[in-house]
Amino acid sequence: MGEITKLKIHEKIARYMLGIVYLFGAIDGFLYIFFDIKITGNPTEPFLAALKGTLFFWIFMKLIQAIGAFSLLFNYRPALGFALLMPISAVLCMYYLLVLHWYYAFTVVFVCSAILLRAYLPSYKPILMKYS
């Protein structure tokens, strides 16, 4: 019984941490879009500049981050919210690791994503099963 309780606590911590990371990212993005306020990121870095240069995609990505963050933070369909965030998490992990060399940020996003993937895998099994 103790292991199950610990696992649930780890899942909650991972869910809240990832939710906070993506909520901050969404707020940062919307501040840049509407008020030209840059909290994080180097606007001259080519990858970030290209994303911000395609305003429609930047807005779409920030909306997905906000929806996923609220889903995780308020525990409303968290498996769906995490599924929306998985592609962003993958790119963000590579960006943190290979471009920015932010190893702590990479570790937080990667570990939280791995914990949530393991936790929500039963929810994804019907999608991944082969139809007969």
pLDDT in tens, 53-91: 788 888 899 999 999 999 999 999 999 999 999 999 999
Q: Distances from the Cα of 82 to the Cαs of 31, 53, 90, 104, in angstroms?
A: 23, 26, 12, 21
pLDDT at residue 42 in the model: 62
pLDDT in tens, 20-60: 999 999 998 888 888 877 777 666 677 777 877 788 888 89
* Higher pLDDT pick, 53 / 107: 107
